[in-house]
Structure 1
């Protein structure tokens, strides 16, 4: 199949498929006699694998290393697992940061009086700053 057909099948843009090939995330794609990429099921499966791992937050460099370990002749299961565990730890930290932000916003929305007090305090500080500026307040 062509790269356009592969793009439609996988939901990955053609430019991204070419990028994956250039970065070594998928094997080199065979070309026909006129140079058109000919993508087979093996490449489709690898595109889908890369797409899934990217969706899981894996960066290009780590993913490239993982794929190199996977493609190597020797058994690299331990190193592959270590990379996945590192990625899991990164994603859990991001999840925790996101959950903290969600909890904070939820608290603010559910506790309007707290928000009003905090906003009033900020407004007062801004007003004081502006008044100080109008008086030529920076006397250093």
Structure 2
């Protein structure tokens, strides 16, 4: 799969894919004989994983640490697990904070809707 195809498939810019490869988030993207990137299924799995984690808000630094640990082998499984446990804790906290913000926004919207209804009632009375 070319970089253009991977970019379209995962809805990530080609520049972002190149950047992820350059910093080591996508390890060792395969290239054809002409040196053009040729994304294998394994490469695509890395892209999909990184995109999912970035969309959830995981920092690049954490993902770089994960990739480094992954490449060191199975002896790093406990460290990788701990890394994800901590990221899950942080994500749950963010979700809780977002829920509170959503509730506050809903309250404010309802308040404005109530003010509009009250204003319309006042206008209607003055027209009568």
TM range (shorter): 0.7 to 0.9
Distance in 2 between residues matched to 1:73 and 1:80, nearest whole Å? 10
> Normalising to structure 1: TM-score of the pair?
0.71
Distance in 2 between residues matched to 1:72 and 1:10, nearest whole Å? 27
Instruction: Tell me which residue corresponds to 1:83.
Output: 83
Is the aligned partner of 1:109 residue 2:109?
yes
How much is the aligned-residue C-alpha RMSD, in angstroms?
Answer: 2.1
Is the aligned partner of 1:69 residue 2:66?
no
Q: Unpaired segments of 5 or more residues in structure 2?
A: 116-128
Distance in 2 between residues matched to 1:32 and 1:110, nearest whole Å? 58
State the Cα distance separating 1:33 from its structure 2 match: 3.5
Instruction: Tell me which residue corresponds to 1:17.
Output: 17
Higher helix share: 2
Q: Deviations over 1:62-114 (max 9, x none)?
A: 011112112212422211111111111211221122122222222333346xx
Q: Unpaired segments of 5 or more residues in structure 1?
A: 116-140
Aligned length: 114
Closer/same/farther in 2, CA of residues 29 and 110 from structure 1, 3 Å limit: closer
Instruction: Select the structure of larger CA radius of gyration.
Output: 1
1:1-140 matched pairs, under 5 angstroms: 1-111=1-111
State the Cα distance separating 1:4 from its structure 2 match: 0.9
Distance in 1 between residues matched to 2:3 and 2:107, nearest whole Å? 48
